[in-house]
């Protein structure tokens, strides 16, 4: 029998008890992995094991694909009208709303982001996303195409079938929803692998899907490691599409596996090293506040025009120094721990690299506290474009502030990266804002803000930041095949 995880939350921001099965979710049931092994999930705040969850392998992926194929051919896909798919997704959104605090607490427990962030942003954004794609479920349509009066030609947008999805640890719940909502809305069935570091909300969502009445087999979640479950999904001959969010390095491996197996359709949302350009006429206080945000889209290369650079740095330093780093369940905490010892060591390695290559640490650069995976907010100055801290994605509380003078050259500097996930421009001049935004080679550009997202707005990267778009109507194209139907009305041979 799979392990039942029971936990009592007694924190300043949330008090409550959770108890749920942590098995693999295959064909509507929670089961042990066939090998009977488990994965320890660690609380990044204190490095202690929270629960253990069932570990899947390739054999479990095969079972999940069997279930997904059967569901696609019988109770889902073209056998289930879009109106019903929409109702089930809407019911799931309503259940998520009822369990908002619990989902936020679970997100905080194994991810380390603050409860306030998860409660005010991650969970509401996930709910909104489910509702958005629920609305699309009965609006997937083709076109009638003009040919001749002797032919009737039209297109259908049909579901692909069984799709594989692999999600990261930075936004566990939100990435779960970004993946499954458009896939299920368009009639596909899903085999999904959450990060082994942060599987709790994905597993809990399976319980809510059961309660919502999802037919067995349409949603399958196999917890496991990337080199086993992730590899099995990306190379599986009966999975016809794979969607992945994570590092560019792993994205390449998934693309290779997809090509070497059945040439499956691939959507990749990968790394970034995003530029944040702040011009002399920017609202300085707002620019500082927005610059504090961090994630995969973080504007960690902060380019500040020379006329305001000193004042920006002063305010940015004061704001960074005032950040409360610590217990993510404390009401005044802004920054929690890094996700794991691996990620902690990786970030500290980049900080050491910056020091060795001659960059100046203006703030931070050290461990915070004595337990868990906490790192001080860190600011580097006096960098050059060849330094690793300028070129490579760090994925931690580390930024570089770079002074610039030449408005013509700043776009070249901003685009001087293998990535193209996101960018930002801060200026009060609307002509400069739009002109600069159009020249930046990034999938998302924000003007006088940073990181805002809506379910109806596409998200994805240029260059090595990915292939395809998630969110919005664009996401539907990832999960449908276009069929042309030609009907002869009068042609004779």
**What does the alpha-carbon distance between residue 227 and residue 191 come to, in Å, rounded to a whole number?**
16
Nearby residues of 345 by Cβ (< 8 Å), 6 or more positions away: none
**Nearest partner of 252 among 6, 466, 23, judged by Cα:** 466
Q: Which residues of 447-485 are buried (b: 16+ CB within 10 A; e: fewer)?
A: bbebbebebeebbbbbbbbbbbbbbbebbbbbbbeeeee
**What does the alpha-carbon distance between residue 340 and residue 395 come to, in Å, rounded to a whole number?**
12
Q: Which residue has the tokens 């050059």?
A: 384
> What is the gyration radius of the CA atoms in the chain, in angstroms?
24
**Active-site residue flag, 206:** no
The catalytic residue among 269, 309, 393, 470 is: 269
DSSP string, 356-423: HTT-EEEE--SB-SSSSS-B--EEEES--TTSHHHHS---SSEEEEEEE--HHHHHHHHH-SSEESEE
Q: Which residue has the tokens 């640890």?
A: 169
**Active-site residue flag, 357:** no
With contact defined as beta carbons under 8 Å apart, do 450 and 431 qualify? Answer: no
Give the tokens for residue 369. 């506290």
The phi, psi pair for 143, rounded to 5°, reads: -135, 150
The catalytic residue among 80, 206, 296, 309 is: 296
| Catalytic annotation, residues | 269, 296
């Amino acid at each position: 029998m799979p392990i039942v995880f029971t936990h009592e939350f007694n924190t300043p921001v949330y008090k409550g008890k959770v108890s749920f099965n942590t098995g693999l979710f295959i064909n509507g049931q929670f089961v042990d992995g066939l090998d009977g092994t488990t994965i320890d999930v660690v609380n990044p705040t204190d490095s202690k094991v929270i629960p253990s969850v069932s570990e899947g392998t390739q054999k479990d992926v095969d079972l999940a694909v069997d279930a997904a194929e059967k569901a696609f051919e019988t109770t889902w896909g073209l056998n289930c009208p879009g109106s019903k798919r929409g109702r089930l997704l809407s019911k799931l959104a309503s259940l998520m709303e009822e369990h908002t605090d619990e989902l936020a607490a679970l997100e905080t427990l194994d991810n380390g982001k603050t409860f306030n962030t998860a409660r005010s942003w991650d969970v509401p954004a996930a709910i909104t996303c489910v509702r958005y794609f629920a609305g699309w479920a009965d609006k997937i349509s083709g076109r009638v195409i003009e040919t001749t009066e002797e032919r009737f030609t039209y297109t259908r947008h049909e579901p692909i079938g069984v799709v594989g999805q692999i999600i990261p640890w930075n936004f566990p719940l939100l990435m779960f929803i970004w993946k499954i909502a458009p896939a299920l809305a368009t009639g596909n069935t899903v085999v999904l692998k959450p990060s082994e570091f942060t599987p709790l909300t994905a597993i809990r969502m399976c319980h809510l899907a059961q309660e919502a009445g999802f037919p067995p087999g349409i949603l399958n979640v196999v917890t496991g490691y990337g080199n086993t479950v992730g590899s099995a999904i990306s190379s599986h001959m009966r999975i016809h599409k794979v969607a992945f969010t994570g590092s560019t390095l792993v994205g390449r491996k998934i693309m290779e596996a997809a090509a070497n197996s059945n040439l499956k359709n691939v959507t990749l949302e990968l790394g970034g090293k995003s530029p944040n350009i702040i011009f002399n006429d920017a609202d300085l206080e707002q620019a500082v506040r927005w610059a504090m945000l961090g994630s995969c889209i973080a504007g960690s290369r902060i380019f500040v025009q020379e006329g305001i650079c000193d004042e920006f740095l002063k305010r940015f330093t004061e704001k960074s120094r005032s950040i409360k780093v610590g217990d993510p369940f404390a009401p005044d905490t802004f920054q929690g721990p890094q996700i794991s010892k691996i990620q902690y060591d990786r970030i500290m390695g980049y900080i050491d690299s910056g020091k060795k290559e001659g960059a100046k640490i203006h703030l931070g650069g050290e461990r915070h506290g004595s337990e868990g995976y906490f790192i001080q907010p860190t600011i580097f100055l006096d960098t050059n474009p060849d330094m690793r801290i300028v070129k490579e994605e760090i994925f931690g509380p580390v930024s570089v502030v770079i002074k610039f003078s030449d408005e013509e050259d700043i776009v070249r500097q901003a685009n001087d990266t293998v990535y193209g996930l996101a960018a930002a421009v801060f200026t009060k001049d609307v002509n400069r804002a739009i002109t600069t935004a159009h020249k930046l080679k990034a999938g998302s550009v924000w003007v006088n803000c940073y990181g805002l997202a809506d379910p109806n707005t596409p998200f994805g990267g240029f260059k090595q930041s990915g292939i395809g778009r998630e969110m919005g109507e664009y996401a539907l194209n990832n999960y449908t095949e276009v069929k042309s139907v030609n009907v002869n009305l009068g042609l004779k041979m």
